Amino acid sequence: MSYQPVVVGSGMAGWRFIERTYDAQIEAFGNSAAFERDTEYFRQNIGSIQSAGDLVSDRRLLGVALGAFGLKDDLDNRYFVQKILEDGTLADSALANRLADDRYSKFSKAFGFGPGETLKTGDVAAMSIVLDNHKSQEFEIAVGETDETMRIALYAQHSLVELANSGKSNDALWYKVMGTPPLRSFFETALSLPEAFGQIDIDRQLGVFKERIEQLTGDDKIRQFSDPASLERITNLYLARSQISETGAGNSSASNALILLQTAFR
């Protein structure tokens, strides 16, 4: 039997409930029978995997591996996934390094099948991290089945902090944001960007993102979101604007919350 996360309400009220109950809910999710079966199968069999071909040929193992990086939609793209793994991440020409979405490079790096890399499938500690990531990602997916807004907000809490602390240039970080669908959605909503925004020139998109966030926070840097207070403010803004979009601008409570949040950034 699987555990379905409880989501109570939308917007900031729903988010506060998830924050309060997150630890208990993710523990219950991880202890559900269906999840435990997949986890145990991975733990028992991943050590015998010696090549990218071995991994993609075992659909059950591959589901966990991809799921740990939010890439489970690629489960049937076996040739593509095998190429990502076999190329590794050390060469600039590696497929994972040529994709805007850096979840692929993280996925490839986690297993070490590429040229010059150390195979990690037999490393218990490394594979335990993959399993921990898998639990977090699968929990977020389950939350998204009830409320996609909450799923994106949960994803931003860890992925945005990871980016902010990565040490890469600010422009490189913004390009990573633009290339990662959940983070792009997060910022497009928080910054009130139109649906057609993604169709304009990519360099112009970069400029708009930086201009909008600087107008809001006084800083165009992604690294500001390593600060929990800054991350909380942008998350609250995302949630408020999502709620207004869903319920209409006439919702006075959501509109008032948005006004307060915008004031808090100044």
User: Domain containing 29 — which CATH number?
Assistant: 1.10.3700.10
> Rounded to an integer, what distance in angstroms lies between the CA atom of residue 119 and that of residue 111?
6
Q: Is the pLDDT of residue 147 over 90?
A: yes
| 100 or 230, greater pLDDT | 230
- Is the same domain home to 16 and 99? yes
Q: Burial letters for 64-75: b for 16+ Cβ neighbours within 10 Å, e otherwise?
A: bbbbbbbbbebe
Calculate mean pLDDT across residues 45-61: 97
121 and 40 together in one domain: yes
Identify whether 161 is part of a domain: no
Residue 99 lies in a domain: yes
15 and 131 co-located in one domain: yes
Within-domain flag for 146: no
Q: Say what percent of the chain tops pLDDT 70.
A: 92
Tokens representing 149? 């807004």
Q: Do 119 and 21 belong to one domain?
A: yes
Find the domain containing 82 and state its range. 11-137
229 has pLDDT over 80: yes
pLDDT tens figures, 114-144: 999 999 999 999 999 999 999 999 999 999 9
Q: Does residue 126 share a domain with residue 29? A: yes
Tokens matching residue 118: 């150390």
Residue 194: its pLDDT value, please?
A: 87
Using the 3D structure, point to which of 137, 154, 180 is the last residue of a domain.
137
Q: How many domains does the chain have?
A: 2
In a domain, 159, yes or no: no
124 and 176 within one domain = no
Tokens of 99: 């994709």
Q: Can you give the pLDDT at residue 1?
A: 52
> Does residue 157 belong to any structural domain of this protein?
no
Measured CA to CA, the distance from residue 260 to residue 104 in angstroms comes to 38
For residue 49, count other CB atoms closer than 10 A to its CB. 23
Per-position DSSP letters for 36-80, written without gaps between them: HHHHHHHHHHGGG--SHHHHHH-HHHHHHHHHTTT-GGGTT-HHH
